[in-house]
């Protein structure tokens, strides 16, 4: 799965959790917090994304991601090594 495909999945869940972003065009540089997702929203988005990817990892493994692009990158690596 490509990084862009993972970003599409993340974006789908962000839109579900933060409906005001329905029309937002997501980019690699987007930061969830700056988009208005609070800490619970971010946990929800990550959990939904991990389920979509059938990826069972700890949330701690994703903590270093500074934006959606980096998050997709870490998820892609985890997918490849799982």
Partner 1 sequence: MKNYNRAEILISGVGVTSAIGQGKEDFVSGLLQGKHAFEVMKRPGRQIPHIDSENEHGSPFLGAEISSLTLPDSLPRGLLRTASFSSQVALASLHEAWNDANLNGIDPVKIGLVVGGSNFQQREIVQTQKAFHERLSFLRPAYAFTFLDSDLCGLCTEYFGIKGLAFTIGGASASGQVAILRAAQAVQSGEVDFCIGMGALMDLSYWELQGFRNLGAMGPQRFTGEPALACRPFDKDRDGFIYGESCGAVVVERADSRQTHIKNPYARISGWAMTVDGNRNPNSSLDGEVRVIEKALSQAGLKTNQIDYINSHGTGSVTGDQIEVDAFSICGLNDAFINATKSLTGHGLSSAGAVEVIATLLQMKAGFLHPTKNLENPVEPVCNWVSHKSISHEIKNSINMSMGFGGINTAICLQKY
Using CB under 8 A, list all residues that contact partner 1: 16-20, 40-41, 43-44, 47-48, 50-51, 56
Q: How far is the CB of 64 from partner 1 (least distance, A)?
A: 19
Cα angle 14, 30, 80 (rounded to 5 degrees) comes to 75
Nearer to partner 1, 12 or 41 (CB): 41
Token reading at 26: 């997501």
Nearer to partner 1, 4 or 38 (CB): 38
Which distant-in-sequence residues (6+ apart) come within 8 Å of 10 by Cβ? 26, 45, 49, 68, 71, 72
Q: How far is the CB of 38 from partner 1 (least distance, A)?
A: 9
Token reading at 55: 């990826």
Q: How far is the CB of 56 from partner 1 (least distance, A)?
A: 5
């Amino acid at each position: 799965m490509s990084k862009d495909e993972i970003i599409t999945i993340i974006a789908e869940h962000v839109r579900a959790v933060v409906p005001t972003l329905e029309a937002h065009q997501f980019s690699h540089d987007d930061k969830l917090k700056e988009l208005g997702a609070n800490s619970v929203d971010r946990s929800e988005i990550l959990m939904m994304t991990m389920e979509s990817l059938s990826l069972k990892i700890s949330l701690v493994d994703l903590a270093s991601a500074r934006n959606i692009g980096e998050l997709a990158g870490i998820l892609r690596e985890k997918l490849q090594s799982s």
